[in-house]
Amino acid sequence: MITRTELKKIARARIKDAEVLWSAKRYDGAAYICGYALELGLKARICQTLKWSGYPSTNKEFANYRCFKTHDLDVLLHLSGIEEKIKTLFFRDWSNVANWNPEARYDR
C-alpha cells in the first residue's frame, strides 16, 4: 500500500516538476505531469473517503479492488466521493483535464 500521506507528498512533488517544465515552456510535459499529480490527489482523496490507510499498489493488493486499478480520472473522481462538488463548482476546469491519460506520453 502507498499511504495517503505519501500520495499527497508525491502529488505535490509532481506539481513542482510541472511548474519547472511550464517555466521552461515545456507545456506538453507540464500538462502530462499535472495529470499524474491529479491522479495521485484523487487516489489520496479516495483513501480519505473510504477511511483507508493507503491505496493498493501491488497486483495482490488490487486483487479484490480491480476497479481501483485505473488511471482514468473520471473513474477516480467518481470513486473519490467528491464528483458532484467538482463537476458543479469546477465544471470547465474538470472538462479540460478529464481526457488526460497516461498514453499521452506517446503524443507529439
Tell me the pLDDT of the chain averaged across its residues: 92
Q: What type of residue sits at position 96?
A: N
Q: Has this prediction a pTM greater than 0.85?
A: yes
The SS3 of residue 2 is strand
pLDDT tens track for 34-73:
999 999 999 999 999 999 999 998 889 888 888 888 899 9
Cα separation of 88 and 33, whole Å? Answer: 25
State how far the alpha carbon of 101 is from the alpha carbons of 32, 85, 97, in Å: 8, 22, 9
Cβ atoms < 10 Å from Cβ of 7: 22
State how far the alpha carbon of 11 is from the alpha carbons of 26, 47, 51, 55, in Å: 19, 14, 19, 14
